[in-house]
């Protein structure tokens, strides 16, 4: 088995230098490509525990708990099992929040929405 770097062999230093240059160039390329393909970071979420109301297009009102809020959306928890439509009106008066939201995901009693 040949060692990658053997101080007694002639040209070992140049092989090592070439290998290090190759690694350095690859990592620079990976960094620049990774920045473009990396998804945007989410805005910070603020933990809340406020009652809110979901108003469906049919007029039905469902009380929910607003668990956290960010600039882009919120996480809601339900007191009863509800199958949400794709979009609806979300209202929370103390935070002066009243806007149409879109469901990102929904699981047993919890949903994430985007503003």
Give pLDDT tens digits for 49-66: 999 999 999 999 999 999
In a domain, 24, yes or no: yes
In a domain, 89, yes or no: yes
In a domain, 3, yes or no: no
- 21 three-class SS: helix
Task: Give the pLDDT confidence score for residue 45 in this predicted structure.
Answer: 85
Query: CA 70, CA 45: separation in Å to the nearest integer?
Result: 4
Number of separate domains in the chain: 2
Residues 33, 51 share a domain: no
Residues 101, 81 share a domain: yes
Q: How far is CA 94 from CA 23, 52, 79, 91, 112, in A?
A: 55, 9, 20, 9, 20
Rounded to 5, what percent of the chain is helix, strand, coil? 25, 40, 35
Residues 107, 84 share a domain: yes
Asked whether 114 and 104 are in contact (CB, 8 A), the reply is yes
Task: Give the pLDDT confidence score for residue 69 in this predicted structure.
Answer: 92
Q: Is the pLDDT of residue 91 over 60?
A: yes
Residues 19, 69 share a domain: no
- Name the residue range of residue 69's domain: 46-114
CB atoms within 10 A of CB 55: 15
Residues 91, 50 share a domain: yes
Average pLDDT over every residue of 37-51: 78
In a domain, 64, yes or no: yes
Please list, in sequence order, all residues whose beta carbon lies within 8 angstroms of the beta carbon of residue 99, skipping any fewer than 6 positions away: 89, 90, 115
Worst-scoring range by mean pLDDT, 7-16, 61-70, 74-83?
7-16
Average pLDDT over every residue of 27-41: 54
Q: Is the pLDDT of residue 98 over 90?
A: yes
């Amino acid at each position: 088995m040949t060692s990658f770097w053997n101080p007694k062999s002639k040209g070992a230093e140049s092989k090592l230098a070439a290998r290090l240059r190759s690694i350095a160039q690859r990592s620079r390329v990976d960094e620049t490509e990774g920045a473009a393909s990396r998804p945007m970071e989410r805005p910070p979420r603020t933990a809340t525990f406020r009652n809110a109301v979901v108003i469906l297009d049919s007029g039905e009102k469902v009380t929910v708990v607003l668990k956290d809020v960010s600039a882009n959306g919120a996480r809601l928890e339900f007191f009863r099992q509800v199958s949400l439509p794709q979009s609806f009106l979300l209202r929370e008066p103390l935070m002066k929040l009243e806007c149409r939201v879109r469901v990102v995901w929904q699981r047993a009693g919890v949903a994430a929405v985007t503003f």
